[in-house]
Structure 1
Amino acid sequence: MNPTKVTLAPMIRVLIADGRAIVRCGLLHLFNLADNVEVMGVATHGGQVIDFLRTGVCDLILLDLSMPGVSGIELIRRIQARMPSLPMLVFGRHDNQRLALGALKAGAAGYVSKDVDLETLLAAVHKVAAGGRHIDAGLAEQMVFEGAAAQIEQPHEQLSKREMSIFKLFVGGKSVNQIADELSISNKTVSTHKARLMEKMGFQSNMEMLRYGIDRGLLS
Structure 2
Amino acid sequence: MHKISVLLADDHAIIRDGLKQLLADTDDISVEGEAANGNEVLALVRECDWDLVLLDISMPGRSGLDLIKVLKEERPDLRILVLSMHHEEQYAVRALHAGASGYLTKESDSEVVIGAVRRVAGGGVYMSDKVAELMVRDRQPATEPLPHTRLSDREYQVFDMLVSGLGLTEIGERLSLSVKTISTHKTHIFEKMNVSNTAALIHYAIAHHLTKTEEY
TM-score normalised by the chain length of structure 1: 0.66
| Cα deviation code 1:151-185 (max 9, x no counterpart) | 711307899xxx9xx99xx9993677xx9xxxxxx
Q: Which runs of 5+ in 1 are unaligned?
A: 1-7, 180-189, 204-220
> Following the alignment from structure 1 to structure 2, what is the Cα–Cα distance between the partners of residues 139 and 83?
25
1:14 aligns with 2:6: yes
Alignment partner, residue 218 of structure 1: none
Alignment partner, residue 76 of structure 2: 84
> Following the alignment from structure 2 to structure 1, what is the Cα–Cα distance between the partners of residues 15 and 51?
20
SS of structure 1 residue aligned to 2:78: coil
Question: Alpha-carbon deviation of 1:90?
Answer: 0.6
Residues 110, 117 of structure 1: alpha-carbon distance in 2 compared, 3 angstrom cutoff? same
Question: What aligned pairs does 1:1-220 form with structure 2 within 5 A after superposition?
Answer: 10-144=2-136, 148=140, 152-155=145-148, 173=180, 196=202
> Following the alignment from structure 2 to structure 1, what is the Cα–Cα distance between the partners of residues 114 and 52?
12
> Following the alignment from structure 1 to structure 2, what is the Cα–Cα distance between the partners of residues 37 and 130?
12
Residues 150, 69 of structure 1: alpha-carbon distance in 2 compared, 3 angstrom cutoff? farther
Question: Alpha-carbon deviation of 1:53?
Answer: 1.6
Consecutive aligned runs of 4 or more in structure 1 exceeding 6 Å deviation: 156-159, 199-203
Q: Equivalent pairs: percent with the same residue?
A: 34
Alignment partner, residue 191 of structure 2: none
Alignment partner, residue 185 of structure 1: none
Matched-pair contact (CA < 8 Å) for 1:95–1:139:
no
Q: Which runs of 5+ in 2 are unaligned?
A: 152-158, 173-177, 187-196, 212-216
Residues 156, 13 of structure 1: alpha-carbon distance in 2 compared, 3 angstrom cutoff? closer
